[in-house]
Amino acid sequence: MKFAVIVFPGSNCDRDMYHAAKEILKEDTDLVWYENSNLENYDAILLPGGFSYGDYLRSGSVAATSKIMQQIKDHAAKGKPVLGICNGFQILLEAGLLPGAMLRNKNLAFMCHQEELQVANNSTMFTTQYEAGEVVRYPIAHGEGNYFCDESTLADLQKNNQIVFTYKNNPNGSVADIAGIINKEGNVLGMMPHPERAVEELLGSADGVKLFQSIVNNWRETHVVNA
Residue 196 is a catalytic residue:
yes
Q: DSSP 3-state assignment of 142?
A: strand
* Catalytic residue (choose from 13, 75, 86, 144): 86
> Would you call 23 a catalytic residue per the annotation?
no
Q: How far apart are CA 29 and CA 132, in angstroms?
A: 29
| 86 tagged catalytic | yes
DSSP 22-83: IIIS--EEEEEETT----TT-SEEEE--B-GGGG-SSTTTTGGGSTHHHHHHHHHHTT--EE
CA distance 103 to 106: 8
Could you give the 3-state DSSP secondary structure of residue 16?
A: helix
Sheet holding 178-182, edge to edge: 28-33, 2-7, 44-47, 82-85, 188-191, 178-182, 163-167, 111-119, 135-142
Q: What are the catalytic residues?
A: 86, 194, 196
